[in-house]
Amino acid sequence: MKIKNILRKLPQGTDYFIVTNLKNVRFITGFTGDWAIVLLSKRKNYFITDARFTEQAQKEVEGFHIIIIKKNFMENLKSLIKPPKTIAFEADNLRYESFINLKKTLKGCKFIPTSGIISEFRMIKTAEEIKKIARAARIADRSFSEILPYIRVGVREIEIAAEFEYILRKNGSSGHPFSTIAITSTNTSLPHGQPGMRKIKKGDLFLLDFGATYKGYVSDMTRTVVVGKATKKQKEIYSIVLKAQTTAIESVKIGLKLSDLDKIARDIIKDAGYEKNFGHSLGHGIGLEVHEEPLVSFRSKKKVQKGMVFTVEPGIYIPRWGGVRIEDDIAVIDNTSIKILTKSPKKELIEL
């Protein structure tokens, strides 16, 4: 059914669809290896990989004709596709060099660029997918509680990041969806700052943005804490961000425009006088990747739908002072059930 639905979305007259995005390959086939291409058609579907994954493909991939390439991949395609045919491809993933080679190999074929066809299906999660994301969230929650004792005066950012990634692995994360952001003091004003050799000082804000992976599905969470006693301003900024986040989460319902959801949080920060200090989108979808559809932004044309899983992560970033971000993962179960998957404490600024 999944493949039939994808084929229905292809441009009219398409004979074949070449899927090169590895996450999309996994979504379609269940294959967890790191090199494969899928060729879809109304008559027969092919799974193409190399000898490194022969045994793995046989275990994980069902309903496809499995081809283990022994020579050049293009030669395999040439044997499968006889021109003239119309071939759709993932324009946002296929490298230009590969596209040129494809055109040379399959002379006489017409090529149609596509974008976002499979990501639209990935955007709406099944109950089983949500369970996997929830498990990844629980791993992240447990790991956050275990890293807190390590966040203390004199420890470097990079040391916290390294220890945290070890804890995540130890607690069952099969990989890191992205490099852990572990930053202190004025570095926290950088939304995607990278951990370095800076040491934590007493009174510093410390921001952790991290995630876990469970059976290919990821979580993404941010918490901001203070090392020592929080100042009045630190508490003030934190409370504004928390209000923006909790109000937005409470507003989530099926049919709500995602641009309106972004506006709900953004207006709270704007009314507090920090409009210019919140520059990024309110959130993004998560699943097989840490950034996928839907985008929760003023640019978004989409509405909240059942099965969406996305982050809600407002922040305030003040250059040469620091920043606060709070991020949680939200699953839309139905109109009366919006589940917050990440559950680490956030009701008040944690003082370590």
| Domains in the chain: ranges and CATH | 2-122 (3.40.350.10), 124-351 (3.90.230.10)
Q: How far is CA 215 from CA 129, 171, 219, 273, 331, in A?
A: 9, 14, 11, 42, 18
Report the distance separating Cα 352 and Cα 228, nearest Å.
5
CA dihedral 241, 238, 225, 339 (to 10 degrees): -40
Q: Smallest Cα–Cα separation from 125: which of 333, 284, 300, 338?
A: 333
Report the distance separating Cα 188 and Cα 278, nearest Å.
13
Report the distance separating Cα 287 and Cα 47, nearest Å.
22
Phi, psi of 23 (to 5 degrees): -70, -35
Question: pLDDT at residue 78 above 90?
Answer: no
Question: Which pLDDT does position 240 carry in this prediction?
Answer: 98
Question: pLDDT at residue 247 above 80?
Answer: yes
Question: Which pLDDT does position 341 carry in this prediction?
Answer: 98
> What number is the average pLDDT over the span 186-205?
98
Confidence of residue 34 (pLDDT cuts 50, 70, 90): very high
Question: pLDDT at residue 262 above 90?
Answer: yes
> What number is the average pLDDT over the span 135-164?
98
Question: pLDDT at residue 220 above 90?
Answer: yes
Q: Whole-number mean pLDDT of the chain?
A: 96
> What number is the average pLDDT over the span 128-145?
98
Question: pLDDT at residue 70 above 90?
Answer: no
Q: What is the pTM of this model?
A: 0.95
Question: Which pLDDT does position 146 carry in this prediction?
Answer: 98
Confidence of residue 335 (pLDDT cuts 50, 70, 90): confident
